[in-house]
Structure 1
Amino acid sequence: MAAQRTLLPDGRWHFQHGPMDIVIGASGSAEALELAHTDAWLRFRGILDELVQELALLRLPVRGECPVRGPVARRMWHACQPYKSSFITPMAAVAGAVAQELVSCYAADGITRAWINNGGDIALHLTPSQSVRIGLYADLSRLNMGEILEGVQTDGQFEVASGLPVRGVATSGWRGRSFSLGIADSVTVLARTASEADAAATVIANAVDLRDTRIRRRPAWELKDDCDLGGIPVTVDVPPLEPVLVQQALRAGLKRAQALRAAGLIWSAALVCQNQVVTTGAADALAVENLSADGRGIQVGSVFA
């Protein structure tokens, strides 16, 4: 199926092509926005074919020198390269890397801010003094069509201002559209770029884990025959666990997140599992307001992870 685009009633654009499902919002002069939207659409139409051409290499574990050529493929590989000591393929950063590629179309005179939301992995463009508020929905299993139609009530929200070194937000977890090795309902990461946030969210979500025979896992290839994870067991069901076990899993994930933050690979992270929440909690990390996995925050606007 060819790439498709739809102008939404509120002025945002929806681009869709294969697995890429993107919502774009931007602010600025009408002329600049028209040019940027056109550039983004033209670039978007070619990305999937570019990635397919190098898909075999992108499904291989990150090792040695970067073997891929395309700009999005190389961005995926380099975002995952810091984690090469464990099993990771460039596909861990694909959604963020695509969003990051498109947001560059909006780095133009006359545009004050823009956000590219690729299934919850978000790339930002912010000029000085600009900011964007992002809502966090911690457990997608609770999301229902009625809520989508009437307005999503987020679990928490945070603001990304232009003065912060954050231009990427990504979320991973076992309930998401991608596979996870851990049991986190969601791990949301803020980082320098969307591709870096995407890779880190995957790694941290994998680390929110524990050994318990009640947790169901299946080889990835049984669920998707062309999956880059091959026979690695991925999480398919997590029953209600004792709070002390949830805390144990979250501590493991938090330890990984704090190590990545100390290494300069992320800015901050929020980890959610079965109504319990932990954050990196550093003094200069972003505060997540109203975050409660078993409650509701106030309704926010156009972007949520």
Structure 2
Amino acid sequence: MSATARMLPDGRLHLNHGPIDVVLRAWGDGAEVKRAYMQAAAAFRSILPGLCRELPLLRRPLPGPRPEGFVARRMHAAATPFADRFITPMAAVAGAVADHLLAAMRDGRRLARAFVNDGGDIALHLEPDQSFRCGIVTDLMAPGLDAVATIRAEDGIGGIATSGRAAKGEGGRSFSLGIADAVTVLAADAATADAAATLIANAVDLPGHPAVARVPAVSLDPDSDLGDRPVTVGLGALKPIEIRHALAAGVAEAERFRSRGLIRAAILHLAGARAVCGPAPVAIAA
């Protein structure tokens, strides 16, 4: 299967190559936007082949050797600061793809605003006085516009990523070690947000709780970088105090990352409850 690119009626560009499905858009002078789209489409063609060549290395736990490809290097660089926890560069793959394509779009171009959305992990560019309103999902099992984050250029946020327990066995495309319905992280770039969201979602947990169903990751995907680590495939009813304890564990992890300057903010959701770390610019949607 070869990479494809097509314009959507609303002015967005849709890029697809196997498991990589991206929607992006830029605002600015028409000629500049057109060139930005051409640059993104050209950069996109080599992403999947490059990642496939280095998959064995990218699935190894960090710390580890630095890969060669442009996107693979972004993945490695984003995940390495979190290597005191179990993490592989694959935790940052979607965000790194988004960052790489945004950089390709911006190369030599004058754009007022731009975003690259890779499966919900989003890289952002904002010139001064520009802003985006980004939808926040509170449950990956039933995605919908539940809240809105207003991102301004002066916030220094270049990436948003969401992770949670919507594993492949429950209709998602990734696995989680925790029980969060959704964890959204705002950071300086999408790859860092992606890696942090994965680990914060893992930390929202109630180890050994009978309501949590888990199976080894390899039983669902023999190629999973998580190996035989138990991933969440089901969650029963929880008491309010249990929900608070699980969210508190996630907030503690998020605060640790924020204190190190790795993330700007995080919004955590579990069973209808929300917890926020940092000055998240979030407003509840009606």
Q: Please report how far the alpha carbon of residue 109 of structure 1 lies from its aligned counterpart in structure 2 after TM superposition.
A: 3.7
1:49-68 matches, within 5 Å, as 49-64=49-64, 66-68=65-67
Q: Please report how far the alpha carbon of residue 214 of structure 1 lies from its aligned counterpart in structure 2 after TM superposition.
A: 2.1
Unaligned runs of 5+ residues in structure 2 are 167-171
Is it true that 1:254 corresponds to 2:254 in the alignment?
no
Q: Equivalent residue for 2:282?
A: 288
Cα pair 1:174 1:184 within 8 Å, conserved: yes
Give me the CA root mean square deviation. 1.2
Cα pair 1:159 1:286 within 8 Å, conserved: no
Q: Secondary structure at the match of 1:183?
A: coil
Q: Aligned AA for 2:117?
A: N
TM-score normalized by the length of structure 1: 0.89
Instruction: Tell me how far apart the structure 1 counterparts of residues 114 and 105 of structure 2 sit (CA, whole Å).
Output: 7
Q: Secondary structure at the match of 1:141?
A: coil
Larger relative contact order (Cα-Cα within 8 Å, sequence gap ≥ 6): 1
Instruction: Tell me how far apart the structure 1 counterparts of residues 211 and 149 of structure 2 sit (CA, whole Å).
Output: 34
Q: Please report how far the alpha carbon of residue 159 of structure 1 lies from its aligned counterpart in structure 2 after TM superposition.
A: 1.0
Q: Secondary structure at the match of 2:205?
A: coil
Instruction: Tell me how far apart the structure 2 counterparts of residues 92 and 36 of structure 1 sit (CA, whole Å).
Output: 27
Instruction: Tell me how far apart the structure 2 counterparts of residues 109 and 99 of structure 1 sit (CA, whole Å).
Output: 17
Instruction: Tell me how far apart the structure 2 counterparts of residues 155 and 113 of structure 1 sit (CA, whole Å).
Output: 24
Q: Equivalent residue for 1:146?
A: none
Q: Equivalent residue for 1:72?
A: 71
Q: Please report how far the alpha carbon of residue 262 of structure 1 lies from its aligned counterpart in structure 2 after TM superposition.
A: 0.6
Counterpart selection for 2:206 from 204, 210, 216: 210
1:18-47 alpha-carbon deviations (Å, 9 max, x no partner): 111111011011100111100100100110
Report percent identity of matched pairs: 47
Q: Please report how far the alpha carbon of residue 8 of structure 1 lies from its aligned counterpart in structure 2 after TM superposition.
A: 1.1
Q: Please report how far the alpha carbon of residue 243 of structure 1 lies from its aligned counterpart in structure 2 after TM superposition.
A: 1.2
1:228-275 alpha-carbon deviations (Å, 9 max, x no partner): 111111000011211111111000000010111011000000000000
Q: Equivalent residue for 1:155?
A: 146
1:140-289 matches, within 5 Å, as 140-143=140-143, 154-175=145-166, 176-211=172-207, 212-280=209-277, 282=278, 285-289=279-283
Q: Equivalent residue for 1:301?
A: none
Instruction: Tell me how far apart the structure 1 counterparts of residues 137 and 61 of structure 2 sit (CA, whole Å).
Output: 31
Cα pair 2:269 2:275 within 8 Å, conserved: yes
Give the length in aligned residue pairs. Answer: 279
1:74-130 alpha-carbon deviations (Å, 9 max, x no partner): 110111111212211000000000000000123244311100000000001111111
TM-score normalized by the length of structure 2: 0.95
